[in-house]
Amino acid sequence: MTKEVGRAIHQYEMIRDGDRVLVGLSGGKDSSSLVKILHERRARLPIDYELVAMHVTGIGPCMERVDLEGMSGYVEDLGLPLHHVRLDVDEPEPGKSRCWWCSWNRRKALFQACREHGCNRLALAHHQDDIVETLLINMFWHGEISTMPPVVEMFEGEVTLIRPLALVSESRMRRYARESEFPFELHTCALAGRTERGYVKQLLHEVSRESPKVRTNLFRAMSRLKERVKKDYLV
């Protein structure tokens, strides 16, 4: 899996020499794998970058499910600092789901942490399946073609958000997590599988039985929009 991460970092120019990278660490398999891979890559690369791990405790049913002590020990064994902030927010705004509200506030806290710790990169652990699912969610429920880009500059370039797992499938992530045998209990959101994302995930699972490459094809399609289609078929 480190190959896919390395290819994504190189292809999208995610990390440069001298960068200070804040890694959003939820305690799940994806972010726990990401911080490990980014740490191990530093010893093999001709460039030098710093890593800072940041955990944001969620809201509602997500609040007390993380093995914070075990996660702290894991990060410290890697020789990295782990910072922690607990969200203190109200209920979701009218018309906003709890998952959206939690995600939005977590992201806000991570951007604030980038400023406080002098980080110019924010690494999030969204993998290829997350990106494809978000594409379909936005098409089905919001009527737009958009998703989570592998790299996006925020606040006029003050912070660049990167997704080094963009080329990694969820099935590959699960195998890597099992092989890594993390010394703490991995966190799973209490609402996992009961949201729009859960519905789309199940839909893709069903379609993949007939077309195993459907996820990869959807991911590739986002960068292969033909000029003729743009002109003649999109309003």
Domains observed in the chain: 2-232 (3.40.50.620)
How much is the pLDDT for 186? 75
Judge whether residue 157 has pLDDT over 80. Answer: yes
Separation CA 161–CA 149 (nearest Å): 9
Lowest mean pLDDT among 53-57, 94-98, 175-179: 94-98
Ramachandran class of 26: left when φ > 0, alpha when ψ lies in -120 to 50, beta otherwise: alpha
Evaluate if residue 225 carries a pLDDT over 90: no
Q: What is the pLDDT of residues 186-195, one digit of tens each?
A: 776 666 656 7
Q: What is the pLDDT of residue 229?
A: 52
Q: What is the pLDDT of residue 224?
A: 74
Q: Return the pLDDT at 50.
A: 96
Q: Which residues contact 48 (CB under 8 A, 6 or more apart)?
A: 17, 18, 42
Mean pLDDT along residues 160-182? 94
Tell me the three state secondary structure of residue 146.
coil
Residue 37 tokens read as 């891979």
Per residue in 20-78, pLDDT (tens digit) is 999 999 888 999 999 999 999 998 888 899 999 999 986 655 555 678 888 899 999 99
Q: What is the pTM of this model?
A: 0.89
Round to whole Å and give the CA distance between 206 and 15.
36
User: 215 near 129, Cβ under 8 Å?
Assistant: yes
